[in-house]
Amino acid sequence: MRELSPEEQIKKENAELKTRVRELEKRNAELERLSYRDSLTGLYNRRFFDESLYKLIVGGNESPVLDERRAGTDNREVGVIVVDADQFKHINDTYGHAAGDEVLKSVSRALETLNKREATDIVARTGGDEFVVLLPGMTEEMAVERATNLWSIIREFKVRAGEDLIPITISLGVGSLKLTGIKDALHTEEIKLKGNDLPPDQIQIKLEEKKKELFSAFLDQVDEAMYAVKKEKGRDQIARVSEIKKEEKLSDEAA
């Protein structure tokens, strides 16, 4: 074999280095992708959902879908659907964890089916038996329609456990967050903090805390709507945040 010249040797080493760098970048990209995915269902995980909603709240990462849905409207909103598999603990305890896993996979398949049909932006598994659908640019009314479609798809699914066929039902909470209201609240908070003569780094820390507070409060409202279904309507239903707020207001006025 002919011995390579110094120039040829350098070219060979550079080519090998570029190949190793490309392979490393590919592996890192795959690891990053997996860090955002739920291992059981293949859906996005809570980390990805949190980051996505956070970016929508603070701006700077809007999708063409959001722009299209927002066209002709004054209010920028993001709809959220919280989905909880009914009687999941009972299924696990009665039929085993394998059956419970199949229930979760069935719900995820229904969510993916809806995603392909309706072009939903983000679908994630955020807890043991809880899933969330993030709908940029959607009002609560639009999100309810999407939730109804999902509810209808799920009712067609059953899971086999030995000789038994287990029907699957879900409870859903639906709400929407007006992004302009969030940004106004953050602007007001920033003015207040500056008035307290805090240093810039402390102001930024406080604003980050406020963003998380607003973020959590909204998700809590949608969660509460979903749990209201389980407690008051016997599961297998859809509840809207606006309806829960209206019922609470009427209850307070009656008291």
Looking at the chain, the whole-number percentage of residues with pLDDT higher than 90 is 24
Question: Averaged over 58-64, what is the pLDDT?
Answer: 50
Q: In angstroms, rounded to a whole number, what is the distance separating the alpha carbons of residues 227 and 225?
A: 6
Task: Report the pLDDT value the prediction gives residue 134, as an integer from 0 to 100.
Answer: 87
Question: Averaged over 37-45, what is the pLDDT?
Answer: 90
Task: Report the pLDDT value the prediction gives residue 74, as an integer from 0 to 100.
Answer: 39
Q: Which residue has the higher pLDDT, 216 or 57?
A: 216
Asked whether the predicted pLDDT for residue 64 surpasses 60, the reply is: no
- 3-class SS at 155? coil
Q: Which residue has the higher pLDDT, 248 or 78?
A: 78
Tell me if 182 sits within 8 A of 76, measured CB to CB: no
Looking at the chain, the whole-number percentage of residues with pLDDT higher than 70 is 82
Asked whether the predicted pLDDT for residue 111 surpasses 80, the reply is: yes
Task: Report the pLDDT value the prediction gives residue 254, as an integer from 0 to 100.
Answer: 62
- Considering the four listed CATH numbers 3.40.640.10, 1.10.150.20, 3.30.70.270, 3.40.50.1460, the one that applies to the domain covering 46-254 is 3.30.70.270
Question: pLDDT-derived band of residue 58, with 50, 70 and 90 as boundaries?
Answer: low
Tell me if 53 sits within 8 A of 215, measured CB to CB: yes
Question: Averaged over 105-111, what is the pLDDT?
Answer: 90
Task: Report the pLDDT value the prediction gives residue 232, as an integer from 0 to 100.
Answer: 73
Q: Which residue has the higher pLDDT, 193 or 229?
A: 193
Q: In angstroms, rounded to a whole number, what is the distance separating the alpha carbons of residues 104 and 40?
A: 8
Tell me if 54 sits within 8 A of 211, measured CB to CB: yes
| Segment (H or E) for 81 | strand 77-85
Task: Report the pLDDT value the prediction gives residue 70, as an integer from 0 to 100.
Answer: 42
Average pLDDT, the chain: 80
Give the other-Cβ count within 10 Å of 90's Cβ. Answer: 11
Q: In angstroms, rounded to a whole number, what is the distance separating the alpha carbons of residues 155 and 148?
A: 11
Task: Report the pLDDT value the prediction gives residue 212, as an integer from 0 to 100.
Answer: 80
Give the predicted TM-score (pTM) of the model: 0.74
Question: Averaged over 200-228, what is the pLDDT?
Answer: 85
Task: Report the pLDDT value the prediction gives residue 170, as an integer from 0 to 100.
Answer: 93
Task: Report the pLDDT value the prediction gives residue 71, as an integer from 0 to 100.
Answer: 43
Tell me if 77 sits within 8 A of 176, measured CB to CB: yes
Asked whether the predicted pLDDT for residue 33 surpasses 60, the reply is: no
Question: Averaged over 103-122, what is the pLDDT?
Answer: 80
